[in-house]
Structure 1
C-alpha cells in the first residue's frame, strides 16, 4: 500500500527537477549562450530516460529515499564541477578531443535527472493502478517548479541551485522509512544552509562581452542585477565604448559611457550627457536629416543611444524597452549621468508589435534599435532565437504605422559573407516589391536599411547621398545611380553585388545562395538562422569565418544526432532482457508518440504566444505552468477513464481547432494589458492540457507491469527528442505544421496501444 506522504515527496522532488531544468538553461545562457544551453540541457534530460532503462534491467528495492538524497548531492556536485570546466568552442575545432568535455557536461548534469527519474519510474512500477494520482502529484509539482524557479532566480540568482538541492533533501523526509536516517538528512540540510554563506558565481566564457570588458586594464564591475529572465551587469571599461557604425569622418571627442550587458552579452552603453556631436555621425541618425516631422518611435531602446539621438534632434520620442531593470537604471540611478533622457521621453515597458496594434498613432520615424550584440554579431549565436520584430508581418505593421512621409530605420551588425543584410533587404521587398522605397548603406561594422512610406523623391535621394558622403558610408542599394564600394572599400562590392543578384531573380538566388536569406514569417520567425544543411560543404570551406559550435543551425542537427543515438540506446537496450518473455511491446510506441506530441504542442504554444505576451519568459512560464497544472488535473481524472480512444479523438479535434484559434486570439486580443493576456492564455490552454494529462497514466495502468519502467524510458526519450524535432520541423514547415503533426501522432500512438 502506498502511503500518502509519498505523494508529498513526489510533489517536492518534481518541483526541484523542473526548477533545475529551467535554472540550468538560464545559467548556461549567461555563462555560454542560449543555443549551447539548449544543447547541453537537452542531452542531460536523457537522464530521465536512462532511469527507466536502468529499472527495466535492474530491479531495486525501494530506492526512493536514497535517490532523493543522491539527487540533491548530484545537483550541487554537478553544478560545481561544470561551472569550473569550460568548454571552448574554438579549441574544439582545432582539437577534436576537447569535444569530450561535452561528455562530462552530459554526465554530471544528467545525474540529478537520472535519480529523479528513478523515483518516479519506481513509483509507477510498484503502484501501477494509482498511476493517475501519481502523475497528478508529479505534474502539479512540476508546474510549481516552473514558476518558483523564476522567483528563486530573481532573488537568489545562482544560489537557486542550493534551494533546489534543499528541496530535494526535504522530499527525502517523506520517503524515509527508518528514523535513524534523519540524522543523515539533518546533516546534509545543515551543510546545504552553510553553503549559502559561501561565495558563488557563474564562471562566464572568455568569449562573452562581459569577460572581454573586464579583461581590459582599469575595468571594474559596478553592479550585477538579476530578475526572472535576465542578468544585467553594469561595467566601467574602455571596452564598452558603444557607437555602432560611427562614421570615420568623426574626429571629435567621444563622451564617457557605462556599459550595460544582458546575460553577460548584448552590450550597449549609457552615454554621459556631454560631447554629443558624434550622435549625428551614427547611421541610425539618418531619418532626422530626411524630414522635419519627428514624431519618433524607438523599438528596443536598450540603454538609450537612439533615444539620445532622437532627443538631440528635437524629436518627440516614445521608447519601448522590454527589460525593466534597464528602464530603472536610466530613470533613477543614471538619470543625471544620461541627461535624464528616459524621463524626457515617453518610455513604455513593452514589446513593439503589441504596442503598435494597441496604439493607433502614426509615427514619422520608427527606429528598430540595434542595442547590443557587439561580439555575438559575427557568430550566429542567436539562430534558434525567435524574433517577431523582424518578420514579414512585423514589417507590414511598421509600414502601416508610418505617417504619409514616414521612414522605418533598421540598423544591424554587418556580417561577412553577406547574410543578415540580405535577409533584411528581403523583408523590405515584401513591403516594396519594386524596391523604389528602399535604401541600404553600410559602415565597416553595421548595415542600415531605410524604408520610406512613399517612393523616394529626388530631394530625399539627394539628402541620403549627402548624408552617406559626409560620413563616408557606402551605399549598398539606392533606386538611383550611385558608385558602390566607394568609401569603405572591400576587395569587391560584395554586399552591392549580392543585393543586385537578389533583385534579378529572387527565387533562384534564395535557392543557390550558401546561406538562407529569404524573408521569415511569424510562423517561422527564425530571423537569425541562416544555416542550410544542403550547403554544409560550402560552409565548411568558409572555416576561417564559420565555427560550427557557434552556429546554432549546425548545433541543432548536432544535438539531434546525439539525441537519436541516446534514444536508440535507452529504447532498444532492454530488448535483450525480454527475449525469453512473450510480451507485446507495440504499446511502447504509444508512450513514444504521446511523449513526442505533448512537447510538440508545448513548444508551439510557447513560441506562438511570445508575440502575444511580449517576452519568451512570460510565454514559457505561462504555458508550462498552465499545461502542467491542467494536465495534472486530467491525470487525476484519468483514474475514471474507460475509453482512451475517445480522449485521443478529443485531443486531435482540439489540436486542429487550436491551429486556427491561436492566431485569432493573438491578433484579436494582443492590445490587452499583460495581466489580462496571461489570464486569457491560461484559460485558452486549459481544455487541451486537461485531456493531454489523461493518456500517459491511463496507458501505464493497462500495460503489463514489466513494461512500466521501459515505457517511462521510451516516453522520456521522446520528450527530449521532441523540442529538437519541433524546432527543426518549424524551420522548414512552420509551427502550425508541427501542431497538426502532434495531433496526427497522438492518433497513431493510440492505434498501437489498441494492438497491444
Structure 2
C-alpha cells in the first residue's frame, strides 16, 4: 500500500514537472516576444532548452547522484523552481534593445544562461527519473507527455485570466510542488524547506496578481510609461497609451493634408511591435475623421461600389470608421485578438463613438480567412491594411509565426467572395528592392490566373507614400479586381493620388519602369522569381511564411540590411537565427554523443559499437518526433487560421495520444522494428490523405473533431519507440539511460529548428517526409540491434 502511494506521488511529480517545463517555455517566449522580437525570443529559448539535454549527459557521468536519486530529483526540482523566479526577475529588470552589435551579443548570452538554468535542472531531474523508474517507463513517459500536453494547453486560458509574469510564478509554484512530492521520501528538514517554498510561491501568485510587483517594464529596450490600459492574451499583450501631441496616426497620410485641428487619438500597441490607434469620435463624424479620407489605405474607397465592405483585422476600428465615412450600407469586420473588441465595445466605447452600436456595423472576433470561407456574402470591398504576425504566439519556441491570410488559397477565397466589380485592397510596406508589396502582388496574380483571368495588367493598381513616423519608409496600396479597372476608375484614382501627393507605382494607364511593372508584364514568372534578390513566390498553404523572404543561400546577408532597420529588420533575422542555432546545437550533439564513449571510466556491459547504435537510435527518434510535431503545428495553424487552435487541437492531440501509445506498448510484446515500420507506413498514409484533409471547410468544432481523429493513429505510434528503447536499455545497461535521454532532448531541439528551415524553404510535405526518413534510420539501427 505504501509502495503504491509512493509510486502515485512520483508519477504526479513527473506530470507536474513536465507541465511546468512546457508551460514555462511557452509563457517565457510570450514575455520575450514583448521585450525583444519573436525571432530573438525563439533563439534564446531554443538555446536554453539545450539545457535539458546537457542535464541528461551530466547525470550519466555522476554515479554518486544516481545512488541518491530520490533526494537529488527533489533538489533539482526545487532549484528549477527557484531559477524560474530568478530568471523572470532578471529579464524584467534590464532593458534589452536588439541590434547588430557586440552588446547585443553579450545580452543574448546572458539571457541564454539565465533561461538555461531552469531547463538544466529539469533535465537533471528527468534523466534521474527515467533512470530510477526505468522499470515502469511506459507509465512515466505517459505522465511526462500528458503533463507536457496539458501544460502547453493550459497557457491559452491562463493568458486570458492572468498576466504572463504571474503565470510564470504559478509555474514555479507547480515545480516546487513537484519537488515536495518527491521530497516525501527524503529527510524531514528537506521536506519542510520544499513545503515552505511551495506555500510561499502560492502566496506570491495571488500577491502579484493583485499588486503587479513583478511585471514588464521595458519593451524593445524602452521604458513603458503613461499606460492607460494593458491586457495579456495568447495572441499578444495589448497596451493603450496616449498618442504623441500634434501627431496624426495614419499609415500613409497625404503630405498635402493640412488639419485645422489635430484629431484626438489613443495608441494601441501589440507586443510593442504592431500598432494601431483608437479615434476619438463626437457627434461630428465628418470633422473628427476627415484625415481618414487622406490616408493611402483608403484609396480604394473612392471607386469601390458602396454596398458591403469586409475589414480583415479591424484593430482599433479605423478602417471600420473609414467604411462608415464613405457611406457603405453594410460593414463587416473581423479581428482575431479578442482584446480589440473589448477595447472598442467596452473599455473605450464612449471614446470610440460606440462603433459596436452602429446598426450597419458588425464586429466579429475570429480568424479572418475562416470567416470569409464560411460567409455566404459577396463584398464590394475587402480590406487588409498592415495585418502582421510578428508576435511569438503560444506555440512558443517550437514555431516562428506565420500568417494564413497571405497564401494563394486565402486570396482565392477573397476573390470568390468579391462582387464582380469588387476590389481587394491590401496595404504593405515598400522597401527597395520591393519585398512585402511585390509578394502580395504575386499572390494577387497567382489567384487571378487560377481563376482564369486573362491580361492581369488591367486588373491591378499600386500607389505608395511615406509612413507617418518615418519619411524614408513607404507604405503602399495594392488594388486587385477580378474584372478590369475601367478607364473612368483609373483616371479618378490617379487624379486623387496626384492631388494627395501619392506616388503612382503602377496603373494600366501608367506603366512605369520598375520591378512591379516588370513583374506584372512578364510572361515567365518562374524566371523572375529565380532572378529576384528575395523570395517573392506566392506562399501556399503547404509552404506559408509570407514574411520570411530571405533566400536560404543568402542568410549571411542579414548584416547588410542596416539601411532598412526602420522597416522591420527583425523580419530578416529568421533564417540566420535558425541556421546559427542548428550549427551550434549540432556541434553540441556531436560533443554529447562521442566524448562519453571515450571518457567513460566504467566498463560498458555491451560493446561500444552497440552503445553508439543505441545513442544514435535515440538521436533519430528526437529528430523524427520533432519534425513531425512542429511541421504539424504549422500546417494545422494554416488549417485552423491561428496557432492558438493548433495548440488546443493538434499539439495537445499529438502529445496526448503519444502518451496513450506509451502506455499501450508497455502492455504489448512487440518488436520495436515492427512498431517503427507501422509508424512510417501510417505516416505515409497520413501524408497522402492530408492532400484532401486540409481542404476541408467547416466550423471550428467540426474541424477540431475531425483533426483529433486524423491525428490519433499516427500519434499513438509516435509514443511507442522511446519507452521501448528505454525498456531495452534497462535490461542491457541501465547506466546509459540518462545519456540516451540527454541526446534525445538535444536532437529534439535540433529537430524543431531543422523543421523551420525545411518548412520555410520547401514546405510541409518535404519536411514531413524528412521526419519519416529519420524514423527509417532509427528502424535500420534497431534492426541491427535486434539481430545482434
Q: TM-score, normalised by structure 2?
A: 0.87
Separation (CA, whole Å) in 2 of partners of 1:469 and 1:319? 30
Separation (CA, whole Å) in 1 of partners of 2:391 and 2:120? 36
CA 1:609/1:372 → structure 2, altered by over 3 Å: closer, same or farther? Answer: closer
Does structure 1 residue 679 correspond to structure 2 residue 692?
A: no
Please identify, of 239-248 and 733-742, the stretch whose mean Cα deviation from structure 2 is larger.
239-248
> Which position in structure 1 is the counterpart of 2:333?
319
Which residue of the other structure, out of 246, 255, 268, is the alignment partner of 1:248?
255
Which residue of the other structure, out of 686, 704, 710, is the alignment partner of 1:658?
686
Alignment deviations for residues 133-184 of structure 1 (CA, whole Å, 9 cap, x no partner)? 1111111211221122333333221111211111111112221222232221
> Which position in structure 2 is the counterpart of 1:696?
722
CA shift for structure 1 position 109: 0.7
Alignment deviations for residues 649-680 of structure 1 (CA, whole Å, 9 cap, x no partner)? 22112212222333433322x321x3333333
Does structure 1 residue 64 correspond to structure 2 residue 73?
A: yes
What is the correspondence of 1:402-481 to structure 2 with a 5 Å cutoff? Answer: 402-432=418-448, 434=455, 435-445=457-467, 446-481=475-510
Separation (CA, whole Å) in 1 of partners of 2:13 and 2:352? 52
> Which position in structure 1 is the counterpart of 2:115?
109
Contact kept, 8 Å, 1:52 with 1:710, in 2: the verdict is yes
> Which position in structure 1 is the counterpart of 2:593?
571
What secondary structure does 2:181 align onto? coil
Which residue of the other structure, out of 283, 289, 295, is the alignment partner of 1:282?
295
Over the aligned positions, Cα root-mean-square deviation in angstroms equals 2.5
Separation (CA, whole Å) in 2 of partners of 1:164 and 1:537? 38
CA 1:698/1:562 → structure 2, altered by over 3 Å: closer, same or farther? Answer: same
> Which position in structure 2 is the counterpart of 1:487?
none
CA 1:536/1:54 → structure 2, altered by over 3 Å: closer, same or farther? Answer: closer
> Which position in structure 2 is the counterpart of 1:304?
317
Please list every run of 5 or more consecutive structure 1 residues that lacks an aligned counterpart in the other structure: 377-382, 485-492
CA 1:194/1:6 → structure 2, altered by over 3 Å: closer, same or farther? Answer: closer
> Which position in structure 2 is the counterpart of 1:205?
219
CA shift for structure 1 position 405: 0.8
Does structure 1 residue 711 correspond to structure 2 residue 740?
A: yes
What secondary structure does 1:221 align onto? coil
Separation (CA, whole Å) in 2 of partners of 1:502 and 1:130? 64
Does structure 1 residue 13 correspond to structure 2 residue 17?
A: yes
Contact kept, 8 Å, 1:234 with 1:260, in 2: the verdict is yes
Does structure 1 residue 398 correspond to structure 2 residue 414?
A: yes
> Which position in structure 2 is the counterpart of 1:667?
695
> Which position in structure 1 is the counterpart of 2:144?
138
What secondary structure does 1:737 align onto? helix
Q: TM-score, normalised by structure 1?
A: 0.91
What is the correspondence of 1:44-55 to structure 2 with a 5 Å cutoff? Answer: 44-55=48-59
> Which position in structure 2 is the counterpart of 1:295?
308
Separation (CA, whole Å) in 1 of partners of 2:174 and 2:133? 24
Which residue of the other structure, out of 345, 357, 360, is the alignment partner of 2:373?
357
> Which position in structure 1 is the counterpart of 2:395?
none
> Which position in structure 1 is the counterpart of 2:384?
368
CA shift for structure 1 position 192: 2.3
Please list every run of 5 or more consecutive structure 2 residues that lacks an aligned counterpart in the other structure: 393-398, 450-454, 468-474
Which residue of the other structure, out of 266, 284, 308, is the alignment partner of 2:274?
266
> Which position in structure 1 is the counterpart of 2:471?
none
Alignment deviations for residues 618-665 of structure 1 (CA, whole Å, 9 cap, x no partner)? 212322222111111111111123222222122112212222333433
Contact kept, 8 Å, 1:392 with 1:427, in 2: the verdict is yes
CA 1:513/1:614 → structure 2, altered by over 3 Å: closer, same or farther? Answer: closer
Alignment deviations for residues 449-479 of structure 1 (CA, whole Å, 9 cap, x no partner)? 1001201221121122122112111111112
Contact kept, 8 Å, 1:414 with 1:444, in 2: the verdict is no
Which residue of the other structure, out of 165, 173, 178, is the alignment partner of 1:166?
173
CA shift for structure 1 position 332: 2.1
Separation (CA, whole Å) in 2 of partners of 1:536 and 1:593? 27
Contact kept, 8 Å, 2:424 with 2:481, in 1: the verdict is yes
Contact kept, 8 Å, 1:50 with 1:713, in 2: the verdict is yes
> Which position in structure 1 is the counterpart of 2:156?
150
Alignment deviations for residues 9-51 of structure 1 (CA, whole Å, 9 cap, x no partner)? 1111111111111111111111112111111111111111001
> Which position in structure 2 is the counterpart of 1:636?
663
Alignment deviations for residues 419-475 of structure 1 (CA, whole Å, 9 cap, x no partner)? 112212222221345322011111113111100120122112112212211211111
Please identify, of 366-375 and 336-345, the stretch whose mean Cα deviation from structure 2 is larger.
366-375
Contact kept, 8 Å, 1:384 with 1:553, in 2: the verdict is no
CA shift for structure 1 position 687: 1.9
What secondary structure does 2:377 align onto? coil
